[in-house]
Amino acid sequence: MAKTQESALQLAASAAWSKGAVEPVALDVSGRLALSDFFLILSGRSERNTRAIADGIEEELLSAGIRLLRREGKADGRWILLDFGDLIVHIFHEEERGFYALERLWKDSPVVPLDLPDEPSATSE
CATH number at residue 32: 3.30.460.10
CA distance 120 to 116: 8
- What is the domain range of residue 48? 3-112
- Domain membership of residue 54 (yes or no) is yes
- Domain membership of residue 117 (yes or no) is no
- Domain membership of residue 125 (yes or no) is no
Indicate the residue type of 57: I
- Domain membership of residue 105 (yes or no) is yes
Q: What is the pLDDT along the chain (125 residues), one digit of tens a residue?
A: 444 566 899 999 999 999 999 999 999 999 888 889 999 999 999 999 999 999 999 999 999 999 999 999 999 999 999 999 999 999 999 989 999 999 999 999 999 999 988 765 544 44
Contact 20, 120 (CB under 8 A): yes
- Supply the pTM of this predicted model: 0.89
CA distance 72 to 80: 6
Contacts of 85 (CB under 8 A, 6+ apart): 36, 69
Domain count, the chain: 1
- Domain membership of residue 37 (yes or no) is yes
- Domain membership of residue 122 (yes or no) is no
